[in-house]
Amino acid sequence: MLDANFWHDKAKSQKILKEKKLFEDLTNSYKNSTDQLKDLNDLYILASDENNLSVKNDIFENIKELKKKVKKNEIKCFLSNEADSFDCYVEIHAGAGGTESQDWADMLRKMYIKWSDHKNYKCNLISEHKGDEAGIKSSTIKIQGEYVFGWLKKESGIHRLVRISPFDSGARRHTSFASIWVYPVVDENLKIEISDNDLRIDTYRSSGAGGQHVNTTDSAVRITHLPTKIVVQCQNERSQHKNKETCMNMLKARLYDFEIKKKDELNQNNEASKADIGWGHQIRSYVLQPYRLIKDNRTNYESTNPEKVLNGDLDEFLEESLYQA
């Protein structure tokens, strides 16, 4: 930072400043926590000498709060990979099963939107293909906030739901699947070479909200990257040009994510799990009938309160997946 040319590269300098702030916050928080623990210990000794139960109870409550603070800092230590500080895209795709799976895909989308609201993150709808009767066939949302990709990166995979179907007049139990795909929003200045010859660009009419305009113009854009078969699409802007620009940014993000996973030798397994949205590939099961349980198949972490989780209280599952990394 003392280099005279430090500010010449704005993107690089901002990245360094962000890392500096993270390290400063961690070290300052560690110092404050150790100082607070020492003070509580000294106070406990005095309270014990005087047999003051009221002060002891206050100390125990303060220790509980201190543990929560220490755990938050511990989590931040697991968010140190290159892309963890980036915003992210979340793609949701319904599996086979028609209305059942399409409704489940919509439930998952709402879960992540509510989670982002709890975190005071910003969430935008990028594209949406509605289901025939209910729910969605697919959707992409963009979530912006502190370390969003780091928090959600382990959510990619198949999510399984077991419940009494609200669409079945016989009230039978159904199993539905949907896939989640999370990848980072990369800096627009990141240099990723994309040849025009490798792209197929299609335009179509938007199917989401937007009034008369989206029903009369081919403003939505879909781009296929032929070498990798990666497909991105956007329809949330009224302008075809803006939708294309968003698609290109998404494609850069997908290619960046593709290369990261390739380096980590995880790409083959991830693509396989994405290709088959069904039995044997699920990372998490949400059972609403005949009992109530959500279980992560990778960490074995469980919750008996599905409503709480589906309403966006995901942090405990996300934290466990980070510890598993």
Taking only the tens place, the pLDDT of each residue in 129-165 is: 999 889 999 999 999 998 899 999 999 999 999 999 8
CATH class of 86-325: alpha beta
How many angstroms separate the CA atoms of 268 and 261, rounded? 9
- Please give the structure tokens belonging to residue 99: 């209305």
Q: Higher-confidence residue: 3 or 118?
A: 118
User: What average pLDDT does range 295-322 have in this prediction?
Assistant: 95
pLDDT tens-place string over residues 194-220: 888 999 999 887 765 444 444 456 788
Output the CA torsion 206→208→212→216 (10° steps): 10
What pLDDT does 273 receive?
47
Q: What is the DSSP letter of 263?
A: H
What pLDDT does 210 receive?
45
pLDDT tens-place string over residues 65-96: 999 888 888 888 888 787 888 899 999 999 98
How many angstroms separate the CA atoms of 142 and 185, rounded? 8
* pLDDT greater than 50 at residue 23: yes
- Please give the structure tokens belonging to residue 203: 């335009």
pTM for this structure? 0.75
Inter-residue contact 73 to 33 (CB < 8 Å) = yes
What pLDDT does 125 receive?
94
Q: What is the 3-state secondary structure (H, E, C) of 44-82?
A: HHHHHHHCCHHHHHHHHHHHHHHHHHHHHHHHHHCCCCC
In sequence order, the β-bridge partners of residue 92 are: 139, 180
pLDDT tens-place string over residues 88-130: 999 999 998 889 999 999 999 999 999 999 999 999 999 999 9
What pLDDT does 208 receive?
54
Q: In Å, how far from its chain's centre is CA 205?
A: 28
**Burial per residue of 220-243, b for 16 or more beta-carbon CB atoms within 10 angstroms, e otherwise:** bbbbbbeeeebbbbbbbbeebeeb
Q: Give the sign of the dihedral formed by CA 247, CA 248, CA 253, CA 254.
A: positive
